[in-house]
Amino acid sequence: MAALIGRRDGPSMCLDTMSRLEAGGTTETTPDVAAAMLQQVIETSLSGVCIVDHEGCIAFANGSLLAMWGYDLSEIVGIPVTRLWLSPGEGRDCIDHALSSGVWTGTVAARRKDASSFYAKISLSTVRDPGTADVWLFLSCIEAGAKRGTEDAPGHRRSLERAVAAMPARFVDPAAIDAAIDDSLKELGGACGACRVYLALFNDRRTHLGTTHEWCRPGLVPLRGEFCTLFKDDPPRWATRVLKGETVIVNDVSGDGLPDRAEREFLERHNATAALMIPLRLNGSVVGFVGYDMDVDGVSFAGEDVKLLSAAVYIIAGALDRKQAEYVFRESEGLYQVVLDAITDTVTVVDTELTVLLANDAFIAWCEDLGLETNVVGRDLFTVVPFLPSATRQLYERVIRTGRPQTSERPLTSGGRTMILREMRIPIFENGKVARVVTVGRDVTAQREVEDLKSKAYAQIERNMEQFALLADHIRNPLQAIMGRAELLDDTETKEKIRQQVQRINGIIDQLDERWGESRKLSMFWRRYS
């Protein structure tokens, strides 16, 4: 599906607004899927659809309207909508009538980009944005001369319209997209009289083209799975035009009336007399095309048929785009799960209602070790871990309310077992509000027990060192008394022996004091760095 391009607030805002009005909701309660569904309906509508902002300028136009007026989306976004009328004054009158009464319907003379005129049946209605009170216009139209109703269309065109209209329902289930494409190609081929309808995709370097889906009339050789080599320096003219986003019709002569060898070889390989190639875009780039082959001489593709077949390609592109987006999401989700499972800490993701959205292997193993339920996704966190205190709920509510992370450490008791759990809660924002909370937890019970043992050991060492210091003082005091008593002796030889022994004991005590100081420094180092 072609990417929506808007001005100012853009068409996505218009689509969101209209989806809210259709659902009778508000900006806070309408799910995003409503806007996405409405966008798809508008993109695949066979009627031209245009959204006009409150300044009267075009904010969005779907493929049918662009084909009807002959514009590209980038050329029409931002221009006054009255440019679509042959007479801008008449367009202004129609818009004023719609703004005053809420709706206007009628047939008007319209002007294409190439200045040619035609008649279009237009319906205008107003939509008011509940958020800003701005009035937007919703314009729907069909070409009055060529499409007054299916009763005036040729039989094959009515069949083709029914085939295109039946396509969106097939692409509801992304898992069945391949079967849906095959069924759609078969119905489109039968309705438009083609002998072969196929989906072909270019490789990334645009050097090869491969057919991935195909329907062909019985008796023709299938081309599904076939690869065609395109020389990058000199690709065929038709491939160059398709890559530029042009719808190409290939027959026995090129656009300038001269034979083209590459185009003749293409038709011969397909056993066709004419071929229609409609570019298929994903994310704004041409990645391939849907081809329709004819094998009846003198029969080609009418302009109205090309428009219907182009609408079919839009539907297929939209389905492929959704499939690709889902694949990328699943791949990223799987990668996140692998990363989370490699983390030894427990990790959970909950929404604002505290419903578990994701849990890693460490959390599942923790629950299993505690005898708790291991099927946790989609269940309330407090049902999964029933022994969590009410203070934990308050911490989650504070994170959701303030948008600031919170760290907690508290003892928990389960089945007679007490543990200490340290958790950090981190908010995840969407559209400026907290939508989810990631919790990283760790059981630090063993760590706390080791820390308690170390604290007790350090305290005992400190007490022992204090007692040792007192003991040294207690030894010095009697030594001083002995030395004083020895000084009173008349025996000089005995006095000298006593003095020497006292000095020896004092020297030993000084060495012990020195070692005590070193032990004191070592104890402080242990406390700081252990």
Alpha carbon dihedral 446, 450, 451, 457, in 10-degree steps, equals 160
Whether residue 418 contacts residue 411, with contact meaning beta carbons closer than 8 Å, is answered with yes
Q: What is the pLDDT of residues 48-75, one digit of tens each?
A: 888 998 888 999 898 889 988 888 888 8
What whole-number distance in Å separates Cα of residue 417 and Cα of residue 374?
19
pLDDT value, residue 215? 92
Half-sphere exposure of 49 (CA within 13 A, CB side): 19
Find the mean pLDDT for residues 6-16: 44
- Return the C-alpha torsion angle 218, 314, 1, 48, nearest 10: -170
Q: Is the pLDDT of residue 17 over 50?
A: no
Residue 500 tokens read as 């020497």
Rounded to 5°, angle at Cα 483 from 479 and 487 = 170
212-257 residue pLDDT tens: 899 998 888 888 877 777 766 677 888 888 888 999 888 765 555 5
Which H or E run contains 451?
helix 445-486
Q: Taking residues 511-517, what's their average pLDDT?
A: 72
Here the tokens at position 528 are 């700081």
- Distance between CA atoms of residues 72 and 211, nearest Å: 28
What whole-number distance in Å separates Cα of residue 142 and Cα of residue 171? Answer: 25
Q: Which whole number is the average pLDDT over 16-35?
A: 47
Instruction: Give the model confidence (pLDDT) of 279-334 as tens digits.
Output: 998 888 898 999 998 887 766 777 888 888 988 898 888 888 777 766 555 555 55
Q: What are the CA-CA distances from residue 235 to residues 30, 231, 242 (Å)?
A: 49, 5, 11
The predicted pLDDT at position 15 comes to 47
196 and 291 in contact (C-beta within 8 Å)?
yes
Report helix, strand and coil shares of the chain as percent, to nearest 5.
Answer: 50, 25, 30
Q: Please answer whether residues 191 and 155 qualify as being in contact, where contact means their C-beta atoms are separated by less than 8 angstroms.
A: no
Which tens digits make up the pLDDT trace of 422-445? 889 999 888 888 989 999 888 877
Check pLDDT > 80 for residue 504. Answer: yes
User: What are the b/e assignments for 411-447, b being 16+ CB within 10 Å?
Assistant: ebeeeeeebbbbbebebeeeeeebebbbbbbbbebee
pTM of the model: 0.40
Q: Which residues contact 219 (CB under 8 A, 6 or more apart)?
A: none
In the predicted model, is pLDDT for residue 19 greater than 50? no
Compute the distance between CA of residue 425 and CA of residue 396 in angstroms, rounded to an integer: 8
**pLDDT value, residue 161:** 84
Give 351's strand partners: 436
